[in-house]
Each structure stands twice: as C-alpha cells, then as structure tokens.
Amino acid sequence: MKMQGTAALVTGGGSGLGEATARELARLGAKVAVLDLNLDNAQRVAKDIGGSAHVCNVSDADSMQAAIDAAAAVHGPARILAHIAGIGTAKRVIGKDGNAAALEDFMKVIQVNLIGTYNASRLFAAAAAKLEPLTDGERGVMVWTASVAAFDGQVGQQAYSASKAGVAGMTLPMARDLAQHGIRVCTIAPGLFATPLMKTLPEPVQQSLAASIPFPSRLGKPEEFAELAAHIIHNTHLNGEVIRLDGALRMAPR
C-alpha cells in the first residue's frame, strides 16, 4: 500500500513505539491520526507531524469508535491501523505475603492488550471493508504489537505474556478472516527497546539488558520498530505473519 495521502490510525501514538511510528508514517506522506489515552501527548505528536489528535481507550467500544469517526472526519476513512497501545505489569502468582495475586490485575492487562487489539481491529476492519479496493484489491492493512514475552515470558509476566501471546495467536486467523475483504494483518513482536518506560530504569540496569542481546548488543531504537511497521504496510505480500524484532534475544527466566 502506498503511504502518500493515505489516512492512518496509530493507537498509543503519544509516546514510545507508537510515537515513532506516527512520525515515520507522517514522514512517508500518510495523514496520521494520533490516538492515545493521554490527549496531551497525542496533541504534542500530532502538532509536530501535522496530524490530528484523539483521546482513545482502545478497550472501550464507544471510545474506539468515536476516535475512528473523529479521525475520519479530519483525514477521510483510514486504510492503515498501527495498533501499538498497551500496558505491562509483572506480578508473581503468589506474593511475598503468601496470598494469590489479584485477579483484577490479570484481567486489566488482558482487557487492554488483547481485547483492546480485537476491539480496535474489528471496528477498523468494518469501516475499511466498505472502501473501494485499490488496484491490487487491497482495502486496508493492520500492524499489531505483541512482544517477545509472548514466546519466552519471564517470571511474573503471566498476564503480559498471555495477552501478547493472544495477539500473536490471533494474527493468522484474523488475516484469513479478512482476506475476502482485502485487509491484511501482521504483528511485530519487539524485544528490548529504548522507550520512555525503559529509560526510567537505572542506567546500569539498561546496560545489563542491552548486553543480553546477541547482536547488536544495544537496546532497539523506536525508529527501527517504526521502519518495520512502514515496510509491512508497503509490502502487500506480507500477511498473517508475526515478526520478532529483537536482535536474536531470547529472554531468560528472570
């Protein structure tokens, strides 16, 4: 799909990997709507890239639909969804006090990461399926975000790993389901990246994490994630695939 002049939605676009992706798509000529729960962050990015900003809770049906509609009113119907919004926690099943972890904590991560991905995708796909097909029959493309934790989650990552494994597992059946409508689906599973959240860790911890990556032995750059997202959008034959972007990292148990 050509990026120039095409309307795109980027969830979680106000910071980190989402911000980098919003900036890259805009640089390539897309009309970018920055969707984020933090409207201030979304507005900051949108102002820089000449896009629009919309507050959005991806796990809430009405909020997600309202954001899609508001973005369409500014840029026209979207053919691109880069779904990057997500949260992460780490809690052991049995705490130091001997009590079981709170079920609500597990449910929240699943709600945002897995159900939020499905919610955003179903609403985007329903709108994109009504568009006229492009010359190759394509109507839309979605790029989702999983994590290497989907495959080698660490101690305490039960909720996060389960949610991201769900995203990875949903990729192929969603691509098969939407093939009849000319809508592609791919997922990126990033490893350790230099996001604002990562940068809150002490420098020695960051260096230790970077050293665990075989090559290149450094944290991933958000721009590298964004470049892969852009390539997936551009390369029409990429469909139904989960791509690890991790420098050959395999996470240790802890």
How far is 159 from 92, CA to CA, in rounded Å? 10
What torsion do the CA atoms of 63, 76, 185, 173 make, to the nearest 10 degrees? 60
How far is 114 from 123, CA to CA, in rounded Å? 15
Nearest to 173 by CA among 137, 122, 127: 122
Q: Which amino acid is at 63?
A: S
Count Cα neighbours of 89 within 13 Å in the Cβ-side half-sphere: 17
Coil, helix or strand at residue 172: helix
How far is 153 from 225, CA to CA, in rounded Å? 20
Q: Cis peptide before 190, with omega less than 30 degrees from 0?
A: no
CA distances from 105 to 99, 101, 102 (A): 14, 8, 6
Tokens describing residue 254: 């802890």
* Non-local CB neighbours of 161 within 8 Å, separated by 6+ positions: 147, 149, 150, 153
**Which sequence positions are flagged as catalytic?**
160
